[in-house]
Amino acid sequence: MSSKKKQAPTFEESLAELEALVERMEAGDLSLEESLSAFERGIGLTRSCQEALQAAEQKVEMLTSRAADAPTEPFSDDA
């Protein structure tokens, strides 16, 4: 057995796995049990991605603040 801890997947890896799961589910070739398992995994990946994005947003806000007590500004969604 390996004594090394398994590293959590990166945001990009999680997103790629989530996209692959969605494609498999949309193809309609999975059984009900496989679909439920894929859906459950997808929920976990979605939460992981959301957490990573929130952490990145907080870091950007901290790095771009002009003063320690400066108010934060939300990102605009018009991309």
Domains of the chain: 11-64 (1.10.287.1040)
Q: Could you report the per-residue pLDDT of 34-47, keeping only the tens digit for each?
A: 999 999 999 999 99
Count of CB atoms situated within 10 Å of the CB of 41: 13
- pLDDT at position 6 is 78
Cα dihedral sign, 72-49-76-60 = positive
44 three-class SS: helix
Q: Could you report the per-residue pLDDT of 58-71, keeping only the tens digit for each?
A: 998 888 876 566 66
Q: Could you report the per-residue pLDDT of 20-33, keeping only the tens digit for each?
A: 999 999 999 999 99
- Whether the pLDDT of residue 11 is over 50: the answer is yes
